[in-house]
Structure 1
Amino acid sequence: MAKGRRKKHEEDHVDESWLIPYADILTLLLALFIVLFASSSVDVKKFQMISQSFNSVLGGGTGVMEYPSPVPPESMKDGEVEEGSKKETSGLGKQDRQELSEMQKNISKYIEKNNLQGKVQTALNGEGLLLRIRDNVLFDSGVAEIRPEEIRSAREISRLLEMDRPRNIIISGHTDNVPIKNANFDSNFELSAMRAVNFMKVILENKNLDPRLFSAKGYGEYQPVASNRTSIGKARNRRVEILILPQGEKEMNGKQAG
């Protein structure tokens, strides 16, 4: 009799083991919708909060969403640079930032007054005040000498560098990633360096500038500001830059020179 009751009790008990995989599926679906929602309108802070919740739901371990930005670094296009990540002013002291910001305003006024908007752009970054000039403003393709008709533009740009408190200035040349090999240059390094030097020579025709505060560098294609996969990106990468350093940098270099 007892055996019969036990058998009947086992038959009445429903197997609920299917609930475990069902709950897992629901959890994964919820996580999927969270990811889809986050991807549709990315807000960095919200994305990080969502990613933390997502990883907690899946067990609290390190998950695929744990990246410092919404796009994993390895998924970025070849040569692509996030300008925001390089152009922060956090590397500048408060006084330097204020002084360079004021200088940027004055330079912007000069640029507008002399119709140089299409030739020179300015930006503050963690190193100092940057003036950027597209290479086609000054140079023909594959050539390091400034076009004769643009010498005047270069001289006008030199007046932007006249300051009450002189600072160290670095002029750098940059190219896209298209290889170059002609009678004059074996590499983009050489082309970019000679463009920087030749541009600096014209700048220093301005006798109000101190040559001891200037230096020239060539970076070739190795400091792009855009993807080299498009013609627009390549055009942005072909440039000459003038970096005006903070006052503290001038003083430090002056001490080293002494």
Structure 2
Amino acid sequence: MAKRKKKDHDEHMDESWLIPYADLLTLLLALFIVLFAMSSIDAQKFQLLSRAFNSTFTGGTGVMEYPSPVPKGEMEKLDKEKQKSESSERKKLRDVEKKVNAYIKSKNLQSKLKAVLTDEGLLITIHDDILFDSGSATIRRNDRNLPSEISNLLVSDPPRNIIVSGHTDNIPISNSRFQSNWELSVMRAVEFMKVLLENKKLDPQAFSAKGFGEYKPIASNSSEAGRQKNRRVEILILPIEKKPEKN
């Protein structure tokens, strides 16, 4: 009798665990698809995917049965709109670049300032020796007009996000105020940004400051000429990104 009872028990094993297990696999699949979408498409396309998944989990068809998370032709439309927006914004940044270069030329500062349009945005580079004394983060009083005049070139409507960064050479520093090049570079960026923001037409919320110390060189530190290039303040003007439409 004992053997028969054990056999009956084996033949009627509880399989209810299969249901939550299947649900878990479905959620994991959805998670991986969403993560992939976040890494490869812009915010507008991600919103479309989000709507598709929301429909799926609130009564739509199953994840594996959904024919397409984006309506036909919508991806192509979004791509064209994005390219058009990027092209327009790049043209505006190009206009800012021309204004900055015109200012540089008018002040005969070609050897000290440079403006270049990069993939990230418009990058303005300023050699630190026209702003700071060696080992100091205080802008010289007679040189405060430079960031003040540059600030007028940064005004835009709507305001663009702007990153001010400080850089040094690799010669170690240790004085009563700064224990490392990192600290010096951060404070130089902050002090430069503070002078820029004396211009009330600029929005402080659009600004941030960074210090990279000696770790982002643009030239070799093996020569004085190279080290001089590495001692700099940079202003990166970011393009205005088109915000996704609200639903």
Q: Per-residue deviation at 1:163? A: 2.1
Range that drifts further, 104-113 or 222-231: 104-113
Alignment pair present for 1:174 and 2:167: yes
Show CA shifts across 1:86-118 (max 9, x none). xxxxxx943333222222112222333344434
Please state if 1:183 is matched with 2:172: no
Is 1:234 matched up with 2:236?
Answer: no
| Residue 98 of structure 2: aligned partner | 105
Whole-angstrom CA distance in 2 between matches of 1:160 and 1:111: 11
Task: Name stretches of at least 5 consecutive residues in structure 2 with no aligned partner.
Answer: 1-84
1:129 paired with 2:84, answer no
Q: Are residue 142 (structure 1) and residue 135 (structure 2) matched?
A: yes
Q: Distance in 1 between matches of 2:103 and 2:217?
A: 27
Correspondence for 2:149 among 119, 137, 156: 156
Q: What CA distance in whole angstroms lies between the structure 2 residues aligned with 1:110 and 1:237? A: 23
* Distance in 2 (alpha carbons) for counterparts of 1:157 and 1:116: 12
Matched with 1:215 is 208
For the residue of structure 1 that corresponds to 2:241, the secondary structure is helix
Distance 1:151 1:232 in 2: 25
Aligned mates of 2:109, 2:159 — CA distance in 1: 23
Aligned mates of 2:135, 2:189 — CA distance in 1: 14
In structure 1, the gaps of 5 or more residues are 1-91
Matched positions, count: 161
Q: In structure 1, the residue corresponding to 2:147 is in which secondary structure?
A: helix
Cα distance in 1, alignment partners of residues 235 and 195 from structure 2: 13
Q: Percent identity?
A: 55
RMSD: 2.1
Instruction: Give the aligned partner of residue 225 of structure 1.
Output: 218
Q: Distance in 1 between matches of 2:240 and 2:137?
A: 31
Residue aligned with 2:200, SS: coil
How do 1:1-258 and structure 2 match up within 5 A? Answer: 93-248=86-241
Structure 1 contact 122–129 (Cα < 8 Å) conserved: yes
Deviations 1:55-97 (A, max 9, x none): xxxxxxxxxxxxxxxxxxxxxxxxxxxxxxxxxxxxx943333
Does the 8 Å CA contact 1:110/1:160 hold for their aligned counterparts?
A: no
Give the CA deviation at 1:154: 1.8
**TM-score with structure 1 length normalisation?**
0.58
- 1:172 match: secondary structure: strand
Secondary structure in 2 matching 1:216:
strand
